[in-house]
Amino acid sequence: MSVRRIHRSALAVGITFALAMATTQPAAAATDTKDLKAMQQQVELLKQQLHTMELKVDAAVQDAAKANQKVKEVQSSVSQANASAQNATATALNAIVAPESADLKFRFAGSVTADYGFSNRSDPQSSFGGGTFLPIFLARYKDLAELEAHMEVVNDGAATSTSLEYAQIDLFLNDYATLVTGKFLSPIGQFQQSLHPGWINKLPDRPAGFVEGGGGEALSEVGVQMRGAFPLGNMTADYAVYVGNGPQLQPDGLSLSGYSQDNNNNKSFGGRLGLHPIPDVDLGISAMHSRVPSNATNIIPGSTGSSASHNLYDVDFSYTPPNIDIRGEYVHAKLQPVLFDDQSGAPAELTRSATWKLWYLQGAYRLSGITSDPTLGKFEIVARRSQSTISGGILDWGLANEKRSEIGLNYWWAPTLVSKIAYEHKTFQSLPNDNVLRLQMAFGF
């Protein structure tokens, strides 16, 4: 029963009772007409109140119906929003886990390193290195092509710096040839293209001279490359040849990093040939040629020192049977005289012919080769000797000439997770000697 009907029934009963009382007492009504009129007025007042109450009840019922409708509309909107969110989440997960095309496969890889160093010469002497994050993004379409992109994200002081190591498209032409375009690691030599990531490098530091921007080792190139492998009698061979924009002169010297523009329209070209005469042995020979333009302004093309020939040769080897890793590399490069501007405000200087000679010899042994103890077998002993010499050029280029001896101990928590401790003794040609203790944790995934 509704509220309005209840109020109406109660009021009707009251009115009926009042009228009954009036009819059962005719003598009193006759004698007191004033009371009857008063009662009639009360009845009229009650009717008005009933009408007013009916209007209020009707309004309240309508308001309640509108409120219920709004609640239903809100509930419907929430349900739709939840469904949309669930669909968006599912779509995002499908894009990551299950691409729209089964022919397209994605993979995320890379490495993270954290360092600590103590030096008796540098200032500050003791410092934790900022974490370095090296993500690699891979996307493969069938057996036709693959995208590779590698970034370097470094905590540099209070800021974060990023750089693009390489970004290339690999087109698989056949079983023996892959066409590579974009920015790629230089195929010259062994260390840069195969060993430099922290979890692969046996020691926390790079060999002397094999540094980014040092001018001796070829680091990366922007251009096109053909690489592959093929049988050669009882041996196997691998090869890589490329054409690219070539190196450039920077204020601190010659840089063999990949540049996105060719500043002299003379392309660099080179390659590497590797032979595997027996299992676990790799022998490689590399060469590259380029013309390096002067970094001085207002130089007349073709004039003396406006550009210079640069030639680099590299030989490398590795012997890697179980538990043993022995390898080495030698680089010889020469740059003819060129006008060089160090951006100090002094006039450009015609350099002497400059020669780089870099080499390292490294050996590592995993103790699992002599012990069955699961803990001792995870330790690895490493030793490396390296040297960097620059002669000619300008005086500043040779200040970093260095001989370095290193010994280290690694502990392999997992196949791609390693802790390293190493001691380095550095002897410089023109600077005080240095002794460095390095610790590093590296994880590849």
What per-residue confidence (pLDDT) applies to 39? 72
Q: Is the pLDDT of residue 182 over 60?
A: yes
What per-residue confidence (pLDDT) applies to 65? 72
Kindly report the pTM of this predicted structure.
0.76
Helix H or strand E encompassing 80: helix 33-97
Mean pLDDT of the residues in the chain? 86
In the predicted model, what is the mean pLDDT of residues 210-217? Answer: 78
The whole-angstrom separation of Cα 144 and Cα 142 is 5
In the predicted model, what is the mean pLDDT of residues 384-405? Answer: 92
Q: How many CA atoms does the CB half-sphere of 18 hold within 13 Å?
A: 17
53-71 pLDDT, tens per residue?
777 767 766 776 776 776 5
End-to-end CA distance of the chain: 73
Q: Which amino acid is at 121?
A: R
Q: Is the pLDDT of residue 425 over 80?
A: yes
What per-residue confidence (pLDDT) applies to 215? 72
Q: Which of 76-85, 106-115, 329-338 has the lowest mean pLDDT?
A: 76-85
The whole-angstrom separation of Cα 249 and Cα 340 is 8
What per-residue confidence (pLDDT) applies to 60? 67
Q: Is the pLDDT of residue 331 over 80?
A: yes
Q: Is the pLDDT of residue 366 over 80?
A: yes
82-131 pLDDT, tens per residue?
666 666 655 555 555 545 578 999 999 999 999 999 998 877 788 888 78
Total Cβ atoms within 10 A of residue 327: 21
Q: Is the pLDDT of residue 277 over 90?
A: yes
Cβ(226)–Cβ(242) below 8 Å:
yes
Confidence class of residue 75 from pLDDT cuts 50, 70 and 90? low
What per-residue confidence (pLDDT) applies to 22? 43
With pLDDT > 90 as the criterion, what percentage of the chain qualifies?
61
Tokens at 81, concatenated: 């929003």
The whole-angstrom separation of Cα 17 and Cα 21 is 6
What per-residue confidence (pLDDT) applies to 341? 92
